[in-house]
Structure 1
Amino acid sequence: MKFHRIGGCVVGALIVAASLHAHAQSSGAAPAVVASAGASTPVQAKAKAADRALRKRVLTALGKAKGLRASGVTVRVNNGAVTLQGWVPEQAQIERAADIAQSVPGVTAVKNELTLSTF
């Protein structure tokens, strides 16, 4: 019998659930509550939406900046903290990108991981 990857996961989940149920029955313990993977609360969803909006504002600011080639820059945001990753063609642009990101309203911190590249 050949299982597809998803079928194996379903079978594994059923085995774990049955095992937990059997353990709860034999030990007299309260039934275990298993949270569904990937579930988020409304607060978490709102925070993610705010981070996405902030990321867009930072990318827009970097794209509009004179003297900055931002095509190799990736922006990540987590709770208002911005991480700049990727490359720029000139050393001066590394610091400039961080200054621009820090100037965007809502940014709480900037971690600059940009590197110099001559591509």
Structure 2
Amino acid sequence: MATNNTLKFIRTAQTMIGIAAVSAALHVHAQNVASAPSAASAAAPAPAASASKSSRAADRALRRRVLTALGKAKGLRPSGITVRATAGDVLLEGWVPEQAQIDQATRVAQSVQGVKTVRNTLTLSTF
């Protein structure tokens, strides 16, 4: 059975290990913060919270419009397609069963109002 002194030693060792881990984490965090560009040297100031919310809402609305257009396109099966939208830039990810649908998805997405660019990373899959 462990003596009282042994238990104290184990608890002290555990505490010291915990302190060392926290210290190392803070050191890494401090290095990351120091290497990041300062607010004064940043190219653009951070957007306000309300502007950020409105841009996320606009991105979601654009994503829905693209998904709707893909769903209405004849000969296109969009069930395996994921759409991401950021400030008018659209990313198509996922899979389609035929090569022709990859190009068709790009054309359909480009035709949606508000889309600036389309990056298509769709792949073929016959699942």
TM-score by length of 2: 0.62
1:23-64 Cα shifts (integer Å, max 9, x gaps):
xxxxxxxxxxxxxxxxx6111111000000000000000001
Deviation at 1:103, TM superposition (A): 0.2
Aligned mate of 2:78, from 56, 67, 70: 70
Query: When the two structures are aligned, how many residues end up with a matched partner?
Result: 84
Partners of 1:113 and 1:76 in 2: how far apart? 11
Post-superposition shift, 1:107? 0.3
Unaligned runs of 5+ in 1: 1-11, 17-39
Q: Stretches of 4+ moved more than 3 A in 1? A: none
Aligned to 1:42: 50
Q: What do you get for the CA RMSD once the two structures are aligned?
A: 1.8
Task: Determine whether 1:83 maps to 2:91.
Answer: yes
Percent of aligned pairs sharing the same letter: 63
Matched, 1:95 2:71: no
Unaligned runs of 5+ in 2: 1-21, 27-47
Q: Which amino acid aligns with 1:75?
A: V
1:53 corresponds to? 61
Q: Secondary structure at the match of 2:121?
A: strand
